[in-house]
Amino acid sequence: MPIEVQIADPRLPEAAALVGALDQFLFDRCGAVYTPGVAVARLAQQDTVFLLARLDGRAAGCIALEVDGEAGEVKCVYVDPTSRGSGLGAALLVQIEAVARQLKLRVIRLETNRLLVEALGLYKSSGMTPCAPFGRYVAGPSNLYLEKRLTRRAAA
């Protein structure tokens, strides 16, 4: 199953559908503690890079990186249920980290929910570690904050 991950416009119907599916998934999984996610229009702003993943040519996942100075916030990480277990989530994280490095960011961070056990495993396996709330976030009983410090790679 070939995986392709490319920068895309989140307003494309197939991309917007994935963002909507993520919102519904989070509501179903997290219930009352979930607050609606990022609007597609916000993901299309100049300070945000949106990646669309295709599995066998079909839009199957997405991820975004909102840039603020030397930091980036990972947003909208989603893989459709039929594509889970294919390595698509890991591929999305690898690509968003590559984007962050190209932009010379020092750290990428994300906010997530304790109930998203599978996602937490993916994030931790990619090298993300717990951190304090950042930006506009406030600590809550269900929230978790993770980060990955990016080191400059030596020239070959």
Query: Is 135 within the bounds of a domain?
Result: no
Report yes or no on 116 lying in a domain.
no
Domain assignment of residue 64, yes or no: yes
Residue 37 domain-assigned (yes or no): yes
> For 79, how many CA atoms within 13 A lie in the half-sphere containing its CB?
18
| pLDDT tier, 7 (very low <50, low <70, confident <90, very high otherwise) | very high
Reported pTM: 0.92
Domain-embedded: residue 80:
yes
Q: 36 pLDDT exceeds 80?
A: no
Q: How many domains does the chain have?
A: 1
The parent domain of residue 23 ranges over: 3-107
Confidence category of residue 153, pLDDT binned at 50, 70, 90: low
CATH number of the domain to which 102 belongs:
3.40.630.30
Q: How far apart are CA 74 and CA 64, in angstroms?
A: 6
Mean pLDDT confidence for 129-150: 92
Q: How many CB atoms lie within 10 A of CB 42?
A: 15
The pLDDT assigned to 66 comes to 97
Is residue 102 helix, strand or coil?
helix
Specify whether the CB–CB gap between 80 and 52 falls below 8 A: no
Q: Does 129 fall in a domain? A: no
Q: Quote the tokens at residue 99.
A: 């984007």
Q: Please, are residues 61 and 89 in contact by the beta-carbon 8 Å criterion? A: yes
Residue 40, domain member (yes or no): yes
